[in-house]
Structure 1
Amino acid sequence: MAKSEVSKADKKAARAARRQASKAQRDQMWQALKIQSKQDKLLWPLMIGALVLSAVAFFLLGSLWGGQWWMLPLGVLTGLMLAMVIFSRRVQNTVFAKAEGQPGAAAWALDQLRSGWRVNQAVAATTSFDAVHRVVGRCGIVLVGEGQPHRLKPLMTQEKKKVARVVGDTPIYELIVGDEEGTTPEQVPLRKLNRRLTRYPMNINRAKVDALDTRLRALGTKTGIQNQMPKGPLPQGAKVRNMQRSARRRG
């Protein structure tokens, strides 16, 4: 009897915890929606438009065989899903737009990669917060530079030589976060960085990805400058200058 009462109490507490977590998630989403809508005047029209168009399309489709009232709820649900996709994409675009050009932005973007990628941030860096990040995936090795291209190129060349001695004939690609076209290494905008990585051909299997990452991480420990590199976008200004001075002292 006592065990049954305890079990019921546990189940009740678990249900209450789930309801609380669900409410907190809804509150967070609502707050994010309000913040985004203040900055993005097209957000509500696009979301409402997706909902209405989806409902109308399904209603008209159902009317062809007399099942419009059955199809309408499905159209509303589809419209809600489309509205959430629009919301999520526009929030993402806003975040990337704010992060563009800030030290640590590429490191933060690479952290958003799905599983299957191995990211080692700031394997090479300067006191001006130029950094080279190493990414290992099914395509091979990708060296991603963020900062000033004229300072990054020698840094990336040196890192590529070091990596090549370890990985043999595994392909090594180079990217710099930027907007210039026709450059070497190739430049790609921050918002398109992760998408560009996924477009490389698959050259190695998953087991080799892990093996290469382990071998590359054994190349050496990071210097003081590399450890000072920000793990996410930093605002321009005094805070950045203070970190640069600190990096120079520790480097």
Structure 2
Amino acid sequence: MSTTPIDPRTMSRRRQILETYKMSREVDPAITWWMLGAALISGGLGFALFYFVLPGEGIFKNILTGIGTFLLALLGLMIVFGRRAQKAAFNRLDGQLGAGARALTMLRRGWIVEEVVGFTKQQDMVHRVVGPPGIVLVGEGNANRVKPLLVSETKKHERVLGDYPVSTIMVGTDEGQVPLDKLTKSLTKMKRAVKPAEITEIRQRLRALDAARPKVPLPRGPVPTSMKGNRGQLRGR
């Protein structure tokens, strides 16, 4: 049997959710009980709300109560599933080569992620994100090697970008670094510095810089790629 990971983009929505649940359960065995508990609590609240608030009696009220209870129970279950699955996915990614790049795929529309724009022989990496804050260079790996790499990449980008802002983030758990599971949130909280129309101009300026640099293939694993294929469930709204 082949052990090659299946591309999530070829899966149906139902299959994506099922595969996400299976992988999440491997890291978080309690996810099933959390989901059931959320469904029972939200369903119970939904029943009380619809049964005691809706006026009248009879079969029509019972039908509406049943539908409302089911929908709220499903909503509670999916919210907990999304949050626990996201946490489990980040736990699986933590410590893996290219974990930061995989986490960046969770960014919503309007962000452009370009993997491995800078690297060292020891496989430390710098990724580039173009979005509302401008250009953000995200480093992952050994801090002593990545910091000089971030400085070098910042200077290269500033030379071609002019007045457009260039920021840096280091992924990690040490002081001044951003944990993997908070990476996308940290980016989205950054102050807006460029307009959507300016992003096109930024990308055009970056082409000349990228043309002179080699590309490094980033290893793909079954867990990280599934994050991208099912990002709607993993965000946990």
| 1:209 aligned partner | 199
Q: Is the 8 A contact 2:46 2:72 kept in 1?
A: no
| 1:121 aligned partner | 115
Distance, in Å, in 2 between the alignment partners of 1:25 and 1:118 is: 24
Q: Kindly tell me: are residues 29 and 234 of structure 1, through their superposed partners in 2, closer, same or farther at Cα, counting changes over 3 Å?
A: closer
User: 1:74 offset after TM fit, Å?
Assistant: 0.8
| 2:96 aligned partner | 102
150, 153, 159: which is aligned to 1:156? 150
Q: Is the 8 A contact 1:47 1:87 kept in 2?
A: yes
TM-score, with length taken from structure 2: 0.77
Alignment of 1:133-152 (within 5 A): 133-152=127-146
What secondary structure, in the 3-state scheme, does the structure 1 residue paired with 2:209 have?
coil
Distance, in Å, in 1 between the alignment partners of 2:121 and 2:15 is: 41
14, 21, 44: which is aligned to 1:26? 14
Larger relative contact order, structure 1 or 2 (CA cutoff 8 Å, min sep 6): 2
Whichever residue aligns with residue 193 of structure 2, its letter is: N
Q: What do residues 112-140 of structure 1 show as CA deviations (whole Å, max 9, x unaligned)? A: 32221122221111011111111111111
What secondary structure, in the 3-state scheme, does the structure 2 residue paired with 1:41 have?
coil
Q: Is the 8 A contact 2:24 2:89 kept in 1?
A: no
> Identity of aligned pairs, percent?
37
Distance, in Å, in 2 between the alignment partners of 1:42 and 1:79 is: 18
Q: Give the alignment's Cα RMSD to 1 decimal.
A: 2.5
| 1:43 aligned partner | 31
Distance, in Å, in 1 between the alignment partners of 2:98 and 2:211 is: 20
| 1:240 aligned partner | none
155, 173, 197: which is aligned to 2:187? 197
User: 1:222 offset after TM fit, Å?
Assistant: 5.5
What secondary structure, in the 3-state scheme, does the structure 1 residue paired with 2:139 have?
strand
Q: Kindly tell me: are residues 76 and 208 of structure 1, through their superposed partners in 2, closer, same or farther at Cα, counting changes over 3 Å?
A: same
Q: What do residues 190-211 of structure 1 show as CA deviations (whole Å, max 9, x unaligned)? A: 1111111100111111110121
Q: What do residues 130-164 of structure 1 show as CA deviations (whole Å, max 9, x unaligned)? A: 11111111111101001111101111111111111
Q: Kindly tell me: are residues 79 and 163 of structure 1, through their superposed partners in 2, closer, same or farther at Cα, counting changes over 3 Å?
A: same
Distance, in Å, in 1 between the alignment partners of 2:210 and 2:16 is: 42
Q: Kindly tell me: are residues 36 and 214 of structure 1, through their superposed partners in 2, closer, same or farther at Cα, counting changes over 3 Å?
A: same
Q: Kindly tell me: are residues 82 and 207 of structure 1, through their superposed partners in 2, closer, same or farther at Cα, counting changes over 3 Å?
A: same
Distance, in Å, in 2 between the alignment partners of 1:217 and 1:60 is: 59
User: 1:97 offset after TM fit, Å?
Assistant: 0.8
Distance, in Å, in 2 between the alignment partners of 1:35 and 1:153 is: 34
User: 1:48 offset after TM fit, Å?
Assistant: 1.4
Q: Kindly tell me: are residues 42 and 200 of structure 1, through their superposed partners in 2, closer, same or farther at Cα, counting changes over 3 Å?
A: same
Q: Is the 8 A contact 2:139 2:171 kept in 1?
A: yes
Aligned residues: 207
| 2:79 aligned partner | 85
TM-score, with length taken from structure 1: 0.73
Unaligned runs of 5+ in 2: 1-10, 224-237
Unaligned runs of 5+ in 1: 1-22, 236-251
| 2:218 aligned partner | 230
Instruction: State the 4+ residue runs in structure 1 displaced beyond 6 angstroms.
Output: none
